[in-house]
Structure 1
Amino acid sequence: MSLCFPLINTGGSSPSGSYNHVVGILYGLLAAVLYASVILMNKFIKNLSGFETTLVQLMVSSLVLIPYILMIDPMNFSGVNSHSIIYILILGIFHTGIAYFLYFTAIKELEGQIIAVLSYIDPISAVIIAAVVLGESMIFIQIIGGILILGSTFLSERLETKR
């Protein structure tokens, strides 16, 4: 059995019924490292348009994620039909491709400080949208976490402005 299988748990809790906080923390740290690598990669990619930067980023992301996906669950295309392909194309082109294109085009025009603030707002807005649009539950600790993240970002901006 692979090391990755115990880490995957779609129910949000371990088989014993309690939450597996260590796995969540490890996933969070891994996500932070991968997100930082995207930002650092943007610093080294010069003289490319937003479209070209988007293509490079998506190709690198695919190369990083494909081995993980293949370790977790072998690909099975038996359930793929024309509707699935249309939904995948919509998701890939609009919700990923265009969003990345806008992000990487704007990142070249914005100051690092503004980009940092937007990077903090991004996951919080995702949680809020998931709660409002998808009806996912938001517990008190998530609300407190969002307030702490936004509050510290606001304070950091205010202190930086005063300097």
Structure 2
Amino acid sequence: MSGYFKIILAAIIWGSLGTVVRFIHLPTLILVFYRVSFAAIAIFVYIAMRHKTEVLAVGKRLYWIIAMGILLTINWTAFFFSIRLTSVANAVLITYTAPIFVAILAPLILKEKLEKITILSLGISLVGTALIVSASVTGLSKSALAGILWAVVSAITYAVLVIISKPLADKIDPVAIIFYEELVGAIILSPALFIYKFSISPLTLFILFVVGAFHTAFAAALYLNGLRDVKAQQVGIFTYLDPASAVVFAAIFLGEIPRPVTILGGLFIIASGLILVMVTRQRVETEVVSE
């Protein structure tokens, strides 16, 4: 299986998540708890089967990983709230403004230079977001607007998570980072088990397992393995199959046909991210050639 195919498959799996979540009738915090718990278990089994448990030794960097786990918990909770309150298209497309927030926050936190292309991409992304919001406003849906706000929270927390993980990426095995993030999330959300009254059918439990083990652990493993054979500058392009496929899955299985203005807004957001990815790729390749 080629690296490109692995990344494409991972993106499509992630794209189906919003649709699958709609079939789980549990409180959002309970849903997120089971998702991160099953993911942590699956990843630990994966590490143990490969006899790589030594990668879990992270030393003094544990505090940073705990912080990342907290951010991931907020990120997933916000995303699932968004899925519950607005359409899958709105939730996923707005969440995919995250690369723009990364580009904005990087100069502030990592002291990277704010470039003109970032400002251009931000402007395009904001136009797309405004179009999606306008579609909700004209529909007079307070729920949809609340869902969009949750999607913005999801995008921002994911952006911060990416920035924090950047200095750690070369020092800690990515699989270990994912495991600890999910484990911290499970610990944080465990009190919800005693707060909410709920029951889980065998079918729901199976779907929760799929969300944790398949949509998270398996997809992440595919993605990380695919990175070995694909240029980093090209990865971002393929990951945009996530929001594209999410809209298609929601239309087929949920009957959520996005309005033309929503589709247009989504195209603006995707275009803004692709511009950043492609310009960055071109710059890196130019620098390599010049060396």
Bin the TM-score by the shorter chain.
0.5 to 0.7
**Residues 18-37 of structure 1: matches in 2 within 5 Å?**
18-20=140-142, 23-37=146-160
Aligned equivalent of 1:3: none
- Range moving further from structure 2, 151-160 or 47-56: 151-160
Alignment of 1:99-110 (within 5 A): 99-107=219-227
Say if 2:257 is the partner of 1:137: yes
Q: Do structure 1's residue 56 and structure 2's residue 180 form an aligned pair?
A: yes
The aligned counterpart of 1:90 is 210
TM-score normalized by the length of structure 1 = 0.63
Larger mean Cα displacement after TM superposition, 47-56 or 140-149: 47-56
Q: Which residue of 2 aligns with 1:42?
A: 165
Alignment correspondent of 2:267? 147
Q: 1:76 aligns with which of 183, 186, 197?
A: 197
Q: Counterpart of 1:4?
A: none
State the structure with bigger RCO (CA 8 A, min sep 6), 1 or 2: 2
Determine if the alignment matches structure 1 residue 125 to structure 2 residue 245: yes
> How far apart, CA to CA, are the structure 2 residues paired with 1:108 and 1:37?
24
* Cα displacement string for residues 103-144 of structure 1 (whole angstroms, at most 9, x for unaligned residues): 344457655543443454422331222113432221111210
SS in 2 for 1:80: coil
Instruction: Please give the alpha-carbon distance, in whole angstroms, between the structure 1 residues aligned to 2:185 and 2:163.
Output: 14
After superposition, the C-alpha distances for 1:29-71 in whole angstroms (9 at most, x for unaligned) are 211122113323432244444432321232344456x28x94x
